[in-house]
Structure formats: structure tokens, C-alpha cells
Structure 1
Amino acid sequence: MSPVSRAARWRTQIVAVAALVVLWNLFYGRFSVGNLLGGTVVALVVVTVFPLPPVAFEGRIRPLAVLRFLARFVVDLFTASAQVAWTAVRFGHTPRSAVIAVRLRVRTDLNLTLTAEALSLIPGSLIVEADPASGTLYVHVLDVVDHHDVEQARRKVLALEERIVRAVGSADDVRHLDDPRPADDPHLRNDPCPGNGENR
């Protein structure tokens, strides 16, 4: 791999700071001057204390695809919040959860990180483990009943990945979305929490 230029490293740091500022404001639930300034300070501290490895961003930012991703992300955020709230208040209902393995189609560190971060922000889903070698995310999902629910959760993760790749991925990454994807790891680990039921 050729050495990464100083300019490429600066671009990587700038992208990281911008992403952290957006995440900071999403955590607070609204964009404001105070949140933007506070997020910028926190982001600068993070990238200074924990510098990113010298990996250049080789993707391409597509504004319309970015807007589509953001719009769908906001919808997913509110929908998932409502579903989690309904699950919490349903009388006599014991939700079952599971950890599913989802093998991403674009196996780059950037795609793995962006997909994992976006997924972790959506209520009801949490990244338990990530395997960069195989491009696999192990995702904890809430309120699953059968294999249909598991497959539906897996499809949602892959759809999220596709929106991210089409928004900021390289042309080669986009082509990978249309390639035949190897079968997902059928391994499904049972959540250790009580009341989750049997292995599937």
C-alpha cells in the first residue's frame, strides 16, 4: 500500500471531526450553536488524543444520496424509538432479543465503521462485535419472535449499508452492492438475557 500523503491524512481528520460533530448533535437531539461548538471541541480532543490510522478516504460524496440517507435515517430513528417505547409499555409482553451475524457486502474498514456507528444510533439495535477480516457485524436486535424477524433485521442492516455506500462510497464499492453476495454466516448466538427463549 502506498504511503498516505499529508493532505490525505488531513482530509481524514477533517471528515472524522465533521462526523463526530454530527453524532454529538444527534445524541442531544437537536442542532444548536452551543451543541455545534461543544461537539467541535470534543471532536478535536478525540482526534488529538486518539488519532485515526493513516487511511485515506477514497470514496465519493454524492449530495443527493447523502440527503436520502439522512432522510431515511431520521425516519428510522423515530420509528425505532416508537417501537422500543411500545415494547416497553406493553402489559404482559416479554420481549425476546437475539444477536445476529450480518456479513456486509463492502468489506472496508470505513464502511464497517460507518454502518456500525449508524446502526448503534438507532434504538433497539446495538453492535456487539465487529469482525473486519470477514466484514461481519454481530448485531443485538430487540423483540424478535422467529426466523422471519431475524431475516428482516438482517435485511435492514444491509439496506442501511447500501444507503451509506451509495452516499459516500467509491465507484468500486457501489459495484460491490450489485455483485452476488456470499451467503451470510448462519450463526445466530442466543442472547444471554433471561426470557429470550431457545437457540434458533
Structure 2
Amino acid sequence: MTGPGPDGTPPQGVRTRLGRRRDRLIAVGWLVLVWNLFWGDFSWGNLLGGLLVAAGVLLFFPLPPVTFGGRLRLRGLVVFGVRFVAELVRASLHVARIAVQPGYVPRSAIVAVRLQVPTDLNLALTAEVLSLVPGTLIVETDREAAVLYVHVLDVHGPADLAAARKQIRIVERRIVAAVGSEAELRQVRSVPVDKESS
């Protein structure tokens, strides 16, 4: 077993184990919180029940480890939040106009977009954000290839498909700018958002 690094940090294996324990504790905390919110009452019985349910879920339904290797950036978070709210309002108005327009039948399409950062966390965050915006919905994910299949509303031709792919890549770039690592940030900035996925 190797000793601490020159700067006093623990060796890589110890950091990995500590990271896994931290992630499990965070997952238990969230599950206990959700359990208590479901019951609508924070009591000792619900806290104990939440702990038992959380332990059972993590024991019998283990998820693949998703470790946060990035860092929070205040500017990126603010930009992401402002742009997300603006996109939410714009998309809501667009869907509302389609809903009330007499006789208009919108055409839909499913676009496949390969993400630039193929991590489980980036895949999950990008999929969640896209699903929250009216008019887009995740219908399938390919975890191995880091590809999202997104249902897009009101498509008129190839230009709209290209615009949808570009918008998905912009969303990914904003997420990475808010919470990604330096390497991930360089990775998404190295490829233009309007470049077709290979």
C-alpha cells in the first residue's frame, strides 16, 4: 500500500474508496429525504423507515457508480440557470401556440445526438434538462455510445433537425461549463456545436 502523496493527499485507491463511501452516503441522504417527503412528516419513525428503505434499495438495486469529478462554477451555474429559464419560457409559448392554432398538426421527429462527454453523470443531467423543456422528450439512451435519442416537436425539415441537434449540444456545453471538470470543458469546447456526430 502506497503512502500519502507529496502534498499530503491520500493515495489513489484510498481516494476512490472514500469517494464511493461519500457517494453512498449522499444517496442514502437523498432517499431518506424523499421518503419523508412522500409521507409529508419528518418524524423519528419516518427517518428510521427511510434509512431502512434506503439501505434496501442500495443493497438490492445497486446503481452503477456515478462519481462527481468536476467542480461547481458560479458563473457557469448562473448562465445555465438564466438560459434554462429563457428556453423554458420560449418553448412553453411555442407549444402553447401549437396547441391553440386551429387545424395545425405539427410534425415530430426523433434525433440522435452523441454527447461529447460520455460520462453517466453528463448523460443523466443532459437528459433531465432536455426532458424538462416542453417540446423535447428523451425516448432512448445508449449509455455505451453516450447517445441520446430525443423526440422533437414541430419539425419542418432538415434545417430544424440540425437546429435541434445544435441546441442539445449547447445544453450539454452549458452543463459542463457549470459543473464539469477542466478536461471535460476543454473537450466540449474543442468541437463546434453545429458539427454532426460521427
- Using the size of structure 1 for normalisation, the TM-score is 0.71
- What's the counterpart of residue 103 of structure 2? 92
- What's the counterpart of residue 30 of structure 1? none
Gap change, CA 1:162 and 1:16, over 3 Å in 2: farther
Q: Is the 8 A contact 1:8 1:57 kept in 2?
A: no
Q: 1:149 aligns with which of 154, 160, 175?
A: 160
- What's the counterpart of residue 175 of structure 1? 186
1:158-186: CA deviation from partner (whole Å, max 9, x where unpaired): 0000000010001110010122477425x
- What's the counterpart of residue 163 of structure 1? 174
* 1:7-86 alignment runs, 5 A limit: 7-11=19-23, 14=26, 48=54, 49=57, 52-86=63-97
Q: RMSD value over aligned CA atoms?
A: 3.2
Q: Is the 8 A contact 2:66 2:120 kept in 1?
A: no
Q: Which runs of 5+ in 1 are unaligned?
A: 25-34, 186-200
| Residue 134, structure 1, aligned to residue 125, structure 2 | no
Q: CA offset at residue 63 of structure 1?
A: 1.2
Deviates more, 1:90-99 or 1:1-10: 1-10
Q: CA offset at residue 13 of structure 1?
A: 5.3
Q: CA offset at residue 15 of structure 1?
A: 7.8
AA paired with 1:56? T
- What's the counterpart of residue 28 of structure 1? none
Distance 2:170 2:28 in 1: 23
Distance 2:27 2:159 in 1: 38
Q: Is the 8 A contact 1:101 1:136 kept in 2?
A: yes
Runs of 4 or more off by more than 4 Å in structure 1?
15-18
State the aligned residue count: 168
AA paired with 1:14? I
- Using the size of structure 2 for normalisation, the TM-score is 0.72
Gap change, CA 1:118 and 1:12, over 3 Å in 2: farther
1:24-53: CA deviation from partner (whole Å, max 9, x where unpaired): 9xxxxxxxxxx8x96x99xx78x9235543
Larger Rg: 2
Q: Is the 8 A contact 2:19 2:67 kept in 1?
A: no
- What's the counterpart of residue 27 of structure 1? none
